[in-house]
Structure 1
Amino acid sequence: MTPAAGLSCYTSALHAYLSLEWKATEIISRSVHLAVRRDRAHEQLSFSHHSPSLDVLPDGSHLEYLSGSTYDVLDALSNELLRYGRAIVVTDTARLPWSVGHGGPSAPHWILLDGCSDQRWSIRDKFCALVPNGQQQPWSGELSDAELIEAMTLPADWRPVQSTRNKLVFGAPVPVPAGPMMWLRRHGGIAAIHALRCEDGWQFGDTAIDALVEDFQADDTRFFRSMDDLWAAAGHHGFALRWQREVASTDRERQALSPRIDRWEALPKVLRIAQESVLRGRPRPSLVESALGALRSEPQ
């Protein structure tokens, strides 16, 4: 399958990073899960898409956010390239020339740097998806120092839902420093193992699906504000299930996975149709409830 098909911009960059040393598709596929929690402060759902958390790398090192000024960034990225041959940086889609979101609202977006020569940075952005502004295609090329700094110049504040995604990008929450620019540093020390807990309000698997149904029934307008996270969940599950089908040892196993893949991959379209129906004043709640219910590992 296409290496990053179905992955978010975050996991597309992680896939590219991991693939230079390890079996990235297997690592990410094995991590995919669904967990949700109600964020009372902002009246939104928080989503976790990975367990174990992907900041912990197979060799025991881990990735962590750092922030700083222009000179900090260029020196730090040069050091990352010298040590590891690549680095992930946080950019703003509104400032990325190749993004279909260029010039629009700010949104965090990860890209991979895999080289630098004569103040030109080699870029790989494997993210490919149909997004509200159009079809985003993968892009590879070079940026100058000034162009890279421009792309990495972040807004003073992300929207609450974006801040939550940055914090939970690996699966379990990690510290996200404030600053005008951010990148990921690979730290060679022993990584702290962290996980989500039920006692902190997290719901997992089928229980998370039930929570999504309840959230939709309580307030469909609030529910549809989670569309980006639901799209990510669908993409990640489709990615993981397609990998499981590829490595399955029997035809029976492969055939059993195909309907699950179809249900997850159909979810974004169903939700889009349902949202448009609400906007037209003709809501179709059963459409959403059926689509979500079909995702349970044990359909009711």
Structure 2
Amino acid sequence: MRNPTTTTEVDVHLINAPDVVPELSCYTTNLVAYLEADDPGVKTRLAHAVRLAVRLDGGSGDLVFSQHARVDDSATHDPLGYRGAPDWALAAGDLDAELTRSGRVLTVADTFHLPWSPAHETAHSPHWLLLLGRRDGHWLVGDHFCALTPLGAQEPFLGWLDDAALERALTPHAPWPAEIDNRDRHALGAAVEPVLADRFRWLARSAGEAPAAPAAAPDGWTCVLPEVLGRISGVLTEDETAAARYGDDLWAASRHYTYRLEVLAANGEICAEDAAAAAMSWGELPKVVRFAAESAARGRPRAGLLERTFDDLVRTNTKTTAGPASEA
């Protein structure tokens, strides 16, 4: 991890770092890092859990995305749920207690306040971080997320933040637009309530936590990939604002499916040639969606290009559906 100038030298003995974390979304990358300390097989389980599901909420163009089935709950571990505090004094005390209890804490930050993020002081977005230690009024923060974003390159980060810097990083920014609120709600794979978006937030295990029941077809979820892609294509080609609103969700799906294909091909579960073709199509998706969003903003929607891109995704993914089926 990159370690820019920090207020205190990093003590490597405090770090129980996992091995290389897959390049996924900021949620899933740091979720895997959080879980791997107790669950060494989580990366393979996540590859099998990847499945894109969508549901229409409210208006005909309001999509909700679920990127994968839950991997945080198991026979030996309680599921994660959001926790929150209305002010920093309470949050810091609870975070310290959770750090002592679990050895690490998965927290919810805002990219606007992260100096190592390309969105620093430019754009607000929820972003998960790991707290790995605390001493002398400073917190050891890890961020495994690595990506080339529209605002620039994000590299992994490991360093000490003082109390004021961590408070600033975790300061809530609400209300979020509906697509971001839904992204937070389904970040673990299924809906988790309450989201607590107006509070300092983190995630913790609790014996009283219960994963949401899987959404069934009558509730509006579409889970079969060709149907999912067709449903998304329909929304994006009919609503000129949809490409901009859901670009991040489709970028995350691209990274998740590319990872799934790599793991399943390496394990011999699907044909490597078929996986490579499908991965190429997934890699093109966020580029096309971003281009379509920018073009629509200039008054030139690209419905035909979007439709062809989704048709290509359906075609190249028909031979790569090996692995256990998962529910939303």
User: Normalized against structure 1, the TM-score is what?
Assistant: 0.90
> Does 2:290 correspond to 1:272?
yes
Indicate if the aligned counterparts of 2:243 and 2:293 stay in contact, CA closer than 8 A. Answer: no
Task: Supply the distance in 2 between the matched residues of 1:216 and 1:178 (Cα, whole angstroms).
Answer: 27
Q: Deviations over 1:59-115 (max 9, x none)?
A: 231111011022222222222222221110111111112111111232111101111
CA 1:134–1:193: 2 relative to 1, 3 Å: same
Q: Which amino acid aligns with 1:145?
A: D
The answer (yes or no) to whether the contact 2:66–2:189 under 8 Å persists in 1 is yes
Partner of 2:162: 144
The aligned runs of 1:99-248 (5 Å cut-off) are 99-175=117-193, 176-189=195-208, 191-192=210-211, 194-204=213-223, 205-248=225-268
Pairwise CA distance, 1:190: 6.6
Distance 1:216 1:159 in 2: 18
Deviation at 1:189, TM superposition (A): 4.7
Match of 2:26?
Answer: 9
Moved more, 286-295 or 31-40: 286-295
State the Cα deviation string for residues 100-156 of structure 1 (Å, max 9, x = none).
111123211110111112221111101111222111111111111121111111124
Shift of 1:26: 1.0
Give the structure 2 partner of residue 64 of structure 1. Answer: 81
Aligned-partner residue type, residue 9 of structure 1? C
Report if aligned partners of 1:123, 1:142 keep a CA contact under 8 Å in 2. yes
1:248-294 deviations in Å (ceiling 9; x for gaps): 26xx7222211111111221122233334444555443322121112
Alignment pair present for 1:83 and 2:101: yes
Task: Tell me the distance in 2 between the aligned counterparts of 1:46 and 1:168.
Answer: 8
Give the secondary-structure state (helix, strand or coil) at the position aligned to 2:123.
coil
Structure 2: runs of 5+ lacking an equivalent: 1-18, 320-328
SS of the counterpart of 1:130? Answer: strand
- Assess, with a 3 A threshold, how the Cα gap between structure 1 residues 133 and 42 changes in structure 2: closer, same or farther: farther
Residues 1:298 and 2:301 aligned together: no
Structure 1 SS opposite 2:131: strand
What is the alpha-carbon root mean square deviation over aligned residues?
Answer: 2.3
Alignment of 1:40 with 2:67, yes or no, is: no
Report if the CA contact (8 A) 1:213-1:289 is conserved: yes
Structure 1: 5+ residue stretches without partners: none
Q: 1:55 offset after TM fit, Å? A: 4.1
Inter-partner Cα distance in structure 1 for 2:124 and 2:300: 32
Show CA shifts across 1:171-225 (max 9, x none): 1111112543111112145734521221111112211111012112322332432
Distance in 2 (CA, whole Å) between partners of 1:150 and 1:137 is 20
Give me the TM-score of the superposition, normalised by structure 2: 0.83
Kept in 2, the 8 Å contact 1:60–1:191? The answer is: no
Contact 2:108 2:126 in 1 (8 A): yes
Equivalent position SS for 1:220: coil
Structure 1 pair 60–193 and aligned structure 2 pair: CA distance change class (3 A) = farther
Match of 1:224, as an amino acid? A
Shift in CA distance, 111/42, structure 1 to aligned 2, threshold 3 Å? farther
Q: How many residues align?
A: 295
